[in-house]
Amino acid sequence: MTIAALSLATIGSAQIDTNKVIASVNGEQITAGEYYHRMEVLPGVSMDFGGQMVRSTPGFFTITKLIGEKLIFQLAKNKGITPSPQEIQDELSARLTGNPNYVKDRADEGLTEADIRTQIKYDLAKFKLQTEGVTVTDQEVQQQYKANPKSYTTPKQVHVRMIAVRSAAEEKAVDADLAAGKAFAEVAKDKSVDVTKPLGGDLGTLLISYFAKDAAAAINTTKIGSTTGWISVNDTDPTTGKETSTVLAYSKYQLVGVVPEHIAPLDKMMMLSIRRNLMLNKSQNKTDLAKEIDDMRASSKVSITDPTFQSLWNQMQSNNAKGG
């Protein structure tokens, strides 16, 4: 099903400072009014809606998302399982335990604290609707953990730097610098042809499985602080995914650190994660949340101020009712 917006959207225009300058190009200003209007009507955006890919505009999709959230909250309220403020706070605390930068990361994405709490409320409401009437005991959680150790095991990870070159002459120049006592990172900045050159060749911490077979084998036998020999980087056949005989470059790695393979402990966060997964698994044949939402959407009176968006909404509801 394809839906195309036919006219301009004006929803919310009175609530923003349309004259606010948000960017400039060679001194020419781009105002908030231009930005929000273009964002509303930008064509060619697609989103999954009821199992169908719908093509419309960000403005219309934002409306449908907000309507969907309201329906979830209303359905949860009707069933008496609306997440409480304490449940929302507990979930926020749990997310902060898993990632101390959780709030900061969301703030960097432009979300306020109120936005974060609303998203958590939505996530919890949807989960509670999906798992209504389903319980999982501590014993079931512990049995799941003990029976599936691989599911909770993080493979070996390595922190490495890399220098890449394209010729034997460049290899010799790099080796000469390293032999002279220059730091690996400085040599990488000076002579590497890899995109990590500005970072001193720092690839960060990666699973050992990320590396090609030869590179992984070399890194696995290298001591922390030491470097591997030169390893050829071969081109890959796009149809088979296998390496060809064509050499694209030569790389040398420095092992900065190692995180050994380890099983995550069965702590409070792991208990919560396993419990929720088990609850969702148990609910698969008991609750059809998608159908409940579809039924509620069909029986709800949805009024959208913008006539174009209202028309699009009605058209989409009609197509859904016909199974199209």
Domains of the chain and CATH, by start = 156-260 (3.10.50.40)
The C-alpha angle with vertex 16 and arms to 13 and 17, in degrees rounded to 5, equals 115
Q: What is the pLDDT of residue 7?
A: 32
Q: With a cut of 70, which residues of the chain have pLDDT below it?
A: 1-16, 49-52, 321-324
| Residues contacting 289, CB < 8 A, separation 6+ | 126, 129, 130
| Residues contacting 285, CB < 8 A, separation 6+ | none
Measure Cα distances from 146 to 126, 180, 262 in Å: 29, 52, 14
Instruction: Please count the helices (runs of H) and the strands (runs of E) in the chain.
Output: 12, 10
Report pTM: 0.70
Contact 223, 191 (CB under 8 A): no
In one letter, which amino acid is 252?
K
Q: What is the pLDDT of residue 14?
A: 40
The C-alpha angle with vertex 122 and arms to 139 and 140, in degrees rounded to 5, equals 5
Contact 128, 289 (CB under 8 A): no
Residues 79 and 279: their CA atoms lie apart, in Å, by 18
Give the residue among 128, 121, 229 at the shortest CA–CA distance from 178.
Answer: 229
DSSP 106-160: HHHTT--HHHHHHHHHHHHHHHHHHTTT----HHHHHHHHHH-GGGGEEPPEEEE
Torsion of CA 134, 278, 84, 104, to 10 degrees: -170
Query: What's the gap between Cα 221 and its chain centre?
Result: 33
Structure tokens at 259: 């995180």
For tokens 């997310």, the residue is 95
Q: What is the pLDDT of residues 208-256, one digit of tens each?
A: 999 988 999 999 999 999 999 999 988 777 787 777 777 889 999 999 9
